[in-house]
Every structure is written in C-alpha cells, then in structure tokens.
Amino acid sequence: MTQTRKWLPSLVNNEVKMVPRVFVLLLSSFGFLEVWSHGGPVSLVQSLDGEWKLWNSNKSLSLPARVPGCVHTALQEQGFIKDPYFRFNDLLYEWISLDNWTYASTFAVSKEVRSKQKVLLVLDGVDTAASIWLNGVSVGHTDNMFRQYVFPVRDLLTGEENVLTVHFLSPVLYAAQKRKAHSAYAVPPECPPDVQKGQCHVNFIRKAQSSFSWDWGPSFPGAGLWKGVRLEAFDLLRLDRFATFPLYDAKHSAWTLVVEMLLDTLQLMNGVQITLDVPELLSRATFSTNVRQGNAKYSFSLSINVSSKVKLWWPNGLGGQPSYRLLITVCSEDGKSLYSVRSKVYFRTVELVQEPIVGSPGLSFYFRINGKPVFLKGSNWIPAHSFQDRVTPDALRELLRSATDANMNVLRVWGGGVYERDAFYDTCDELGLMVWQDFMFACAMYPTDDDFLRTVREEVYQQIWRLKSHPSVIVWSANNENEAALATDWFHIPGWRRSIYLKDYVTLYVNNIMTLVKQEDPSRPFLASSPTNGAESEREGYVADNPYDPRYGDTHFYSYEADCWDWRAFPRARLASEYGFQSWPSLAALLPVSVAEDRSFNSRFADHRQHHLDGNQQMLKQASIHFPLPNSSQPLTRFTHTLYLTQVTQAQCVKTQTEFYRRSRSELLGGLGHTMGALYWQLNDIWQGPSWSSIEFGGKWKMLHYFAVDFFADVLPVAFEDDGELLIYAISDLSQDLKLNVVVSVYKWSDLDPICMLRSKSAAVPGGSAVPVFKRSIAVLLVGCGNCSRLSCLLAFHLEDENGARHGPVNHHFLCSPKDAVGLRPPNITAKVRENETELLVDVESQAIAPFVWLDVGDVEGRFGSNGFLMLSRKKTVAFHARRNTSVTQLSRALTVISLSDLYLP
C-alpha cells in the first residue's frame, strides 16, 4: 500500500504562521526553536510518522503500528494483548521483548524532494538495536535509543513505492550477546535482584536502564521507533543543530549571547551573512563567514547593548522566568535569504560553589544562580511510563506543575531513565524548575570497548547540544551512584581486579563524558557522579574513598529500619540529592490493574508489585513505631487502611528529614551542615505499585506531596527536640529579611481548643537563612501549661510578623507517638461538597482533634487545596481543583474521608 504523506503545515512551535511559498523545516529535536526558509524551498521535510506495519520474527503476528510508538502499545491497541500493567502481565508478556520485530512503511516521494542534492533519512529515536533498510538496501544500524540517526538516502529513493523497514533485535538477546562478546571480564551486575523480576545485562545496551526492571518498576524492555522519522531534503545547506547560551562578564556587568550552529553544507559558500537580533534588548549584529563544505560548527557572540536592562531567569520562588526573542537570518553573499531561525533566549548564570568553609573540614557544595545562593528544593524524576508514547503532553505538564505547586525549584532527571523530551525542558524553563541532568548510567559498572564508547560519545554530544540552551538545566552529572558502587564495593569485586573497573570508570565518565561536556558546554558545571564528593572525589582520582562523606558534595541516604522521626539518624549533608521512604498508591490507582483477591497487603499481587526486598514489611515496621497497624475485620477496609497508613508514614518520614536539611542551612555543627539542598526520592511513578514517589501513577498526589507544599514553603517554622529541649527554627528562602516571632499553641489530644499559647520574642530572619527563634525545656513547657504531659498534649506553631500577619504554614510537633496518645476521641468527621462561583469546596467538620485527615475522591482527577492535615478546628474548608469537568454530585458520590483515628478508635 502506498501512503501519501502531507507536507508539514507548520512548525511544532506556536508563533510561526504559514506564509505561502514558505517551506518549513521541522526540527522537532530543538524544542523552543523555530526554523524556516524564505523565498524558495531550500530545505524540505517529509514526515514519515503515522501508521506503519509491524510484525514479529516468524510473522505469526502482523499489525498496524503508530510511529512514534512501540511494539507493546501497538499490540495493545490492536487487541493482541491486554493492559501490560494489569496484575502479572509484566511476566505474561515477557515474550514480547524476547522476540525480534520489524517496522515497515511504504511511501511516495515527490520529484521535488528527489531532485534535491541531498536527502537524509532522520530517525529521532530508535529503541534500540536495529538494522534499517530502504528499498531492499541496508542504510545503517542503530544501537542507542538516546541518539538521533541520520542516513543519506537520496539515491535509494523512487517516486511511488519506497519501502522503509526497521528490523529490531530483541533488546534482551542483544544485551546478552554483547555480554557474551565481552569475554575478558564481567561487568557487574549481571542481573537485577530476583525481587525485581527483570532481565539481565542492561548495562550492555544503551537503553533506559530501568526498562529491564528497577526497584520501583516493571521489566518491559520495549522496542520501536519512539520518536519521529522523516526525510529532509536540501540543496545548499541544512541547519543540523543549534544552541544558544548567555555568558556574563561580572567585571564589566555585560552579557553576551553565544549562538552556535552545526551546518551541513554541500559546497563552499563565501561571505555568508548571519544576522543575530534580540530586538527587545536593542542588540543586533551581522557576521560574515565562509561556510566550508561538510559538517562544521559555527559560533557567534552577540554583545547585549543594554545589559543593565536584561531581566533574569530565576528559579521558582525567587523571581520570574522572562525570555527574549532571538531572530537569526542567514543570507548568501548576494543577499538572498537562505533561512531564518527564531528562538527563545533566557539570561541567567549558574555556579557550583565548592570552597573551604571556616570552621569545617571539607568544602561547601551549593548552587549560585545569578550570584545568589539557592537552596535546592525538589525531587527526583523517573520515566513517567514504561512506554514513552503513553505519556501525554497534558500528563507531563501536570506532573511538572505539581512540582512547582509543591514549592519545588528543582528536579533531578535521574540517570536510569531517559533524557526527557523537549517539552519537559521547555516547561521547566517556563516554570522556573531547575534540572539536575544525569547522563543515563545507573547503579552498575559499564563496558568501555570501542563500540560502546563510540555510541556513548555520540549520545552525549547530541544530548548536550539538544539541552544546553535551556536555562533550567543547571548541572550535568555523569551517572547515578556508580562512584559509590565502586567505592563501597556493591558488586564484591576482588581487590586485584579493582583497577580494571577504576580505569573503566575514569575512561567513561572523565576522559569521555567530562571531556565532551567541557568542550561542548562550558556554560554550566559538571559532576562525575551523584552522590559524589565533587572536587574531593576529583582529587582522589574521581572515585573517593567514601562518596557519601557529608563534608563534601551531595549525598544519598536511605535507612528504613531506624525511627524516621529521629533526626539524629540523618547525615548532616552539604546537599541531600536522594533520600526517601516507600508507600503504596491509592486503591483507585490499583483497581484497574487488580482483581478482588489482589486487594490485600498479603496477596501474591502485593508481593509481586513490590520490587524492593522486604519493602512491604519495612513499611509496616516503620509505621508500627508510631502508629497502630490496621486491624479491621473487613479485608478491603484493612487493605485501604494499610495503603493510607503507608502514605501517612512516608509523608511524616520525608517531612522530618526534609525539615532537618532545611534547618541545617545556616549551621555548622562539628564541621557539618551548611546544607543547601533537599531532593527526595522520587517525584513520580512508572506504574501502579509501591514506591518512594509522592505522586502516584496517573498524577494523583499522595499524602507526601501535600506535605511537600508545606515543608518546601518559602518561609517555614520547624520544631525538633534536642536533649529534652524544644527548639523552633524559622527558615526563609526569601530574598528580603524578615522580623518574626513564633506562636506555639499547646493542645490536649482530647480538646479542640488550645490550653495555652506561648509567643517568642521577635527575631531577625535574614533572607536565605535558618535561625533558632525558640528554645524551651519540654518539661518546663508542659508544667507551665498546666495539666499536660507528653502523652496528652501536642504542639502547633506558626510564624508571625510584628503586625500579627502569619508567614508560612502552621506546623505541628507530636510529643509522643500517636499510638500512645492519651485522650484522642472519635472525631466523627463529615465532609460536604458545595460550589461557589469559581470552584468546588469541601466543608470538613470534626468533633475532635483528628490527625492525618485524608480526603479521597477515587478516580476523579484533581487535587485538594490541602490534604492529610491535622484537624485542630471544628470546621475547615478545602478547595478541590478538578482536572476535568466534574460536579458537586459526582464529587460527593466519590468522596470519602478518613483519619488516623479510624484505624483504632471504635
């Protein structure tokens, strides 16, 4: 069958309007960039996206398949398989990744295209090992899902019936073959732990490392054309890559905009005129250059004339994210316009500060944006689906919005997933979400044979070019935990073999990746790993003795056994880039992927979804330290109570730990402290299962995410106990200084009215600091309040300025475990939905203090203004922000409310 494909009508981007006789060059990999050519079709683009054919190796299955897409999605859409996430289907559908698959497309190519001097076949993403054939002729091979592949095909094209086939090798078999060929020595780990039910040798294939299973995700090693495919035809030159970044000369307070282009040129062109124009900043310059034949890089610097007028890009919470329009025109010597580019540019500086700290061994480790030290508040990002084509633009945006709505200013794109799509970084730019960008290597040793290094170098090169224009990206980091894995010997490497792996480590991350980063993007810092001791690791040959050393660099810290309410267990790190606790998602998330018998904490299903050894038991054990375990005789009630309790436990654990990091910002104790970042593990989920995430699969916020809104608030009071004393710190990430006092209300568990209130003296809270504002012996405080004890009372507190205005959220401090609390009464909570002119509201009423009140609306998409809260009043109104149209009736029907009291009060 011959399909006719349409010429692309316009660019991905929003601003360009189609003008007659303007042919548009689609550069989907450039994100916020628009390119078009004037006065004649210099470049033509023919998309080959759309419906292709797909079959397996023995052709027992043959079906239509969408491109971009993947085999699993195609099989599901055509009814050959059910939802891969349903129950145990990850095991049932293992055969899909053990088979080889072929994608094929038949298409016509116009004379216009074929008459161009050069026609390229461009594949933006091929997952992963494949051979590509056009009209029966091999055009090339692929071995890396993170690369764009480009093949010249002009002479292979015919008019009507062109057949393009892409033969995919099973990724699992390919990885095994590569491992076998690497006979000199093993490159551990050979396989994931059994509990992950995954595939082996993922470190031998340049594919999302988590696709062979992870401790929060299933094994679905997919195959397919996961990004677009197109023909690009041109006569003179083609803009292959484009990037722009600002440089700031502090001495002269002057900005320069660097514009870089990679041009693919068919003949020497003298005197090409390149004009750069940022009209809003009255800056324009024309450069004349000779363009060589072949692929070459051209770099131009535009001085910004009104540097003092430049509005800076700031991280969320610290200012806006203004952008400017950059217009580029390229003309031939005789003044004929060849093409134009329009792009967004942003101005900001970034530095990673590692310098001696007075009174401390070690080095500081923090980011300075536009000269200002910024405390990183955020989380870690994992792939939002096993099948990337299933991630809708809306879902992606909603996740990123959820991050900024929880007062985050950073996400770390973790090295075991994928380099995210352009829309991800565009949105981060817009939202002021900084990105800590890992290269895609995680929790393993990697080979360094020539083929591997060659493909990695190309991958790294392309990703740097694709992402370096984004102000959101503040740091490159070469891998996840591989320095630590080597230093602390995760894989039990015999001493005499260690040097092999050390050498491989330095070869890959330093000699190759770091060298490339320094060469292609000197505009932002580079780290060889996370966690790392940074400059100290470098001094120790890039693998430090202890990369978790809190005196240097960033730290990952996990402890499931110790009581997470005890801050003394946490390392006082310079920057905490990973820490966390697991929880289960809501029942609503589990319903579509389970049947009745699965809905119990001891079911085979609950066990199957848990990919972290003893994870379910760890959650219960941690919960039981402070809470009663659910014991309802109703199995489904017991299950939902258990899901709820794991979320309560997780929220409370991560709150305690994050508050510890935030209050350690200005302090040095025993040389430790000056903590400048808290990124918990992990923001999002890949499927419906237990994990460290604060947002479950589908976008619903877990209790932790609601807690994050408060514990990441710009101004926050934090309480903790030290040696019988209660201390309250005021934390401020604001730019301006404040004068604040803390108001402490002491409540009895049995009474909704406070029994006494205390107010501290007003204290200076400088912008960007954490300062103690209250200190009192707990015993004295309790006696002073009258009839009060640790078991019968609890504290709520907030910050106020001299005019009595509250700053930041109300926080609370438990003086005992809720399971030991004396006087808790049944709250008999009721919740009623109503509507005002603009939104849906829930009126919550309670007859007693109720901890961790949780409003749930099942699968109605949206989120509450607040949730999981401590009810200290008789009435509270909570807004519901619906994502889809919903009504009072629908919401009322779906609404349930639960609090901790439901778990053990009659």
Binding-site ranges for ligand BMA (CB under 6 A): 214-216, 416, 442-443, 480-481, 556, 578, 681, 692
Which residue lies nearer to ligand BMA by CB, 431 or 444? Answer: 444
**What DSSP string describes 442-459?**
BSS-----HHHHHHHHHH
394 neighbors 286 (Cβ within 8 angstroms) = no
Q: Tell the smallest beta-carbon distance from residue 185 to ligand BMA (Å).
A: 24
- β-pairing, 434-438 with 410-413? parallel
H or E, element range at 130: strand 129-134
* Nearest distance from C-beta of residue 196 to ligand BMA, angstroms: 10
Classify the phi-psi angles of 698: left when phi > 0, otherwise alpha if psi is within -120 to 50, otherwise beta: left
- For 876, the 3-state DSSP assignment is strand
* DSSP letter (8 states) at residue 701: B
Nearest to 253 by CA among 113, 126, 392, 349: 349
Q: Which residues contact 533 (CB under 8 A, 6 or more apart)?
A: 540, 544, 546, 547, 549, 551, 552, 553
Q: Select 349 or 555, whichever has its Cβ closest to ligand BMA.
A: 555
- The least CB distance from residue 214 to ligand BMA, in Å, is 6
- The kind and range of the H/E element at 342 are strand 337-345
Q: How many helices (H) and strands (E) does the chain have?
A: 20, 53
Query: Among all residues, which ones are annotated catalytic?
Result: 481, 578
Smallest gap from residue 483 Cβ to ligand BMA (A)? 12
CB of 741 to ligand BMA, least distance (A): 40
Residues 530, 387, 464, 310: is their CA dihedral positive or negative? negative
Cβ–Cβ < 8 Å for 307, 247: no
Nearest to 710 by CA among 381, 315, 408: 408
Cβ count within 10 A of residue 338: 22
Q: Are strands 217-219 and 212-214 parallel, antiparallel or unpaired?
A: antiparallel
Shorter beta-carbon distance to ligand BMA: residue 389 or 438: 438
Mapping DSSP onto H, E and C, the string for 1-35 reads CCECCCECCCCCCCCCCCCCCCEECCCHHHCCEEE
Pairing mode, if any, of strands 677-680 and 376-381?
parallel
Please identify, using beta-carbon distances, which residue of 692 and 814 lies nearer to ligand BMA. 692
Can you tell me which residue has the tokens 């001495």?
A: 251
Give the distance from CA 242 to its chain's centroid: 24
CB 164 within 8 A of CB 149: no
Nearer to ligand BMA, 312 or 442 (CB): 442
| Interhelix angle 635-663/615-626, nearest 10 degrees | 80
Torsional class of 99: left (φ above 0), alpha (ψ -120 to 50), beta (otherwise): beta
Question: SS3 of 649, please?
Answer: helix
Which residues in 760-785 are b (16+ Cβ under 10 Å) and which e?
beebebeebbbbebbebebeebbeeb
Could you tell me if 39 and 20 are in contact, meaning their C-beta atoms sit under 8 angstroms apart? no
Phi first, then psi, for residue 673 (nearest 5°) are: 130, -145
Nearer to ligand BMA, 369 or 442 (CB): 442
Q: Which is nearer to ligand BMA, 38 or 621 (CB)?
A: 621
> Rounded to the nearest 5°, which phi and psi values hold at 587?
-60, -40
| Bridging pattern class, strands 126-127 and 850-856 | unpaired
Helix (H, G, I), strand (E, B) or coil at 378: strand
- Min dist CB 610 to ligand BMA, Å, is 12
Residue 410, Ramachandran bin (φ over 0: left; ψ between -120 and 50: alpha; else beta) = beta
Gap between the Cα atoms of 821 and 824, Å rounded: 7
Q: Which is nearer to ligand BMA, 681 or 864 (CB)?
A: 681
Please report how close the Cβ of residue 704 comes to ligand BMA at its closest, in angstroms: 15
CB of 442 to ligand BMA, least distance (A): 6
CA–CA distance, 417 with 210 (Å, rounded to integer): 6
Q: How far is the CB of 415 from ligand BMA (least distance, A)?
A: 8
Shortest Cβ 51–ligand BMA spacing (Å): 37
What lies within 8 Å, CB to CB, of 519 at 6+ separation is: none
Looking at the Cβ atoms of 223 and 442, the one nearer to ligand BMA is 442
213 vs 792 by CB, closer to ligand BMA: 213
Q: Which helix (H) or strand (E) holds 367?
A: strand 366-369
To ligand BMA, the closest distance from the beta carbon of 692 in angstroms equals 6
Closest by CA to 117, choosing from 230, 239, 232, 234, is 234
Q: How far is the CB of 393 from ligand BMA (least distance, A)?
A: 26
C-alpha 279 chain-centroid distance: 34
Q: Which two tokens stand for residue 294?
A: 């072949």
The residue among 480 and 647 lying less far from ligand BMA, judged by its C-beta, is 480
CA-CA distance, 715 to 705, in Å (whole number)?
18
Q: How far is the CB of 806 from ligand BMA (least distance, A)?
A: 36
Of 565 and 692, CB closest to ligand BMA? 692
Give the SS3 label for residue 165.
strand
The residue (of 378 and 768) whose beta carbon lies closer to ligand BMA is: 378
